[in-house]
């Protein structure tokens, strides 16, 4: 209903002047996800990750170590990474506000090893044409091997925030590590 309503709200710019059929319909309350890797799942997760082929092994680990979104990481370019400054500038994140996130030592080790093998590709995760596109089939296999259920790729981002909160990091630090504005870090575990 949200998608349909958005389409109708935009349609007047295309010349449609009819009514939005979604107007006046009561929406269901959406339940936000709160799933993240649990302590009992962590070892199984890492054991399954190292069994995956490259570049997916590095991709899944960087999702966890950077807290980045899937599309930002898929399109990660060498031009946006400062290996000396240990940071990654995401020029076009989902919210369209360029942001820079710090890179942890585990993330740096992965990036340094990928940089040594980069060849002439501008992408950290090169594909046959451009960068890699989607690894859902590998993710499903990983979860099956790890015997983990109901974990989405985005839940790795939430896992980073949850672990930081459990270790006592402030909401400002957690928000910065996820590439959020300081005011948007009110509830890092929810997003």
Mean pLDDT of the chain: 82
Tens digits of residue pLDDT in 74-89: 999 999 999 999 999 9
> 3-state SS of the chain?
CHHHHHHHHHHHHHCCCCCCCCCCCCCCCCCCCCCCCCHHHHHHHHHHHCCCCCCHHHHHHHHHHHCCCHHHHHCCEHHHEECCCCEEEECCCCCCCCEEEECCHHHHHHHHHHHHCCCCCCECCECCCCECCCCHHHHHHHHHHHCCCCCCCHHHHHHHHHHHHHCCCCHHHHHHHCCCCHHHHCCHHHC
* 0.95 exceeded by pTM: no
Residue 48: its pLDDT value, please? 96
Residue 186: its pLDDT value, please? 40
Q: Which residues of the chain have pLDDT under 70?
A: 1, 28-33, 94-95, 161-167, 169-191
Residue 122: its pLDDT value, please? 95
Residue 141: its pLDDT value, please? 96
Residue 148: its pLDDT value, please? 94
């Amino acid at each position: 209903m949200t998608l349909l309503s958005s389409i109708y709200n935009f349609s007047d710019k295309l010349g449609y002047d009819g009514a939005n059929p979604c107007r006046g319909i009561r929406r269901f309350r959406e339940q936000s996800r709160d799933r993240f890797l649990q302590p009992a799942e962590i070892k199984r997760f890492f054991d399954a990750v190292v069994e995956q082929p490259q570049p997916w092994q590095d991709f899944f680990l960087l999702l966890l170590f950077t807290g980045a979104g899937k599309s930002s990481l898929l399109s990660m370019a060498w031009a946006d990474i400062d290996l000396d400054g240990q940071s990654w500038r995401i020029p076009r994140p989902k919210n369209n506000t360029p942001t820079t996130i710090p890179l942890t030592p585990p993330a740096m080790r992965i990036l340094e090893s990928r940089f040594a093998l980069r060849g002439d590709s501008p992408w950290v995760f090169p594909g046959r044409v451009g960068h890699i596109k989607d690894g859902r089939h590998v993710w499903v296999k990983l979860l099956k091997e790890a015997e983990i259920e109901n974990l989405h790729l985005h839940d790795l981002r939430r896992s980073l925030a949850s672990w930081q909160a459990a270790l006592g990091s402030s909401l400002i630090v957690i928000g910065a590590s996820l590439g959020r504005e300081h005011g948007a870090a009110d509830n890092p575990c929810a997003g």
